[in-house]
């Protein structure tokens, strides 16, 4: 986490060189929740100069509630429910492009494991030549990234942005 926070601070200083260093409040990152780890991975890849985004597989809220005035009292009927997602079943949590390669990253914390739909999705990505990684913590993800992309130029070097 300290390495990501240091990279975050350096990226901020590059983007805002006129702001005094003492005025910069460091961003804190955590990888002990699925949302926190997802944010860490996405931000790390963005700092490195790659494209990365969260994939929403949750569906969308469908609100059928209506409010009526009944004898001077407000009454509500209907429900708020979740409609089916339009994403591919088993889609990974993060979609990224790193060095021209399609990369899908599934985030799993603690005892959480891939579903059968997620294993089928992983197989389809790998058959198509894409990369798929199951991230359980930030340190392991950074190690995988370094092994998979050992010679890539990182953000701030000679790549044009």
Higher pLDDT: 95 or 19? It is: 95
Contact 131, 99 (CB under 8 A): no
pLDDT score recorded for residue 153? 55
Domains of the chain and any CATH numbers: 30-56+88-148 (3.40.1350.10)
Give the chain's mean pLDDT: 86
Higher-confidence residue: 6 or 136? 136
Average pLDDT over residues 100-107: 97
Residue 6, pLDDT score: 83
Q: Residue range 110-135: average pLDDT? A: 96
Written as one string, the DSSP assignment of 83-117 is: EPP-SPTT--SEEEEETTEEEEEEE--TT----HH
Helices of type H across the chain: 2-15, 34-47, 116-127, 138-148
| pLDDT recorded at residue 87 | 74
Residue 16, pLDDT > 60, answer yes
Termini Cα distance of the chain:
25
Asked whether 41 and 103 are in contact (CB, 8 A), the reply is no
Mean pLDDT lowest for which of 87-91, 108-112, 114-118? Answer: 87-91
Q: What is the pLDDT of residues 26-85, one digit of tens each?
A: 778 888 899 999 999 999 999 999 999 999 876 777 888 888 888 888 888 888 887 777
- The arithmetic mean of pLDDT across residues 129-143, rounded, is 96
Whole-angstrom CA distances from 71 to 76, 77, 92, 103, 149 are: 13, 15, 51, 58, 68
């Amino acid at each position: 986490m300290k390495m990501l926070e240091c990279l975050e601070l350096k990226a901020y200083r590059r983007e805002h060189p006129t702001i005094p260093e003492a005025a910069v409040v460091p961003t804190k990152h955590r990888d002990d929740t699925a949302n926190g780890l997802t944010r860490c991975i996405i931000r790390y890849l963005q700092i490195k100069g790659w494209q990365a985004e969260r994939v929403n597989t949750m569906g969308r809220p469908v609100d059928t509630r209506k409010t009526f005035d009944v004898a001077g009292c407000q009454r509500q009927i209907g429900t708020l429910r979740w409609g089916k997602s339009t994403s591919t079943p088993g889609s990974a949590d993060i979609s990224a492009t790193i060095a021209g390669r399609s990369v899908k990253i599934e985030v799993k914390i603690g005892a959480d494991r891939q579903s059968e739909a997620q294993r089928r999705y992983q197989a389809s990505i790998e058959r198509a030549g894409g990369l798929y990684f199951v991230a359980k913590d930030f340190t392991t993800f950074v190690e995988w990234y370094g092994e998979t992309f050992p010679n890539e130029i990182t953000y701030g070097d000679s790549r044009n942005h």
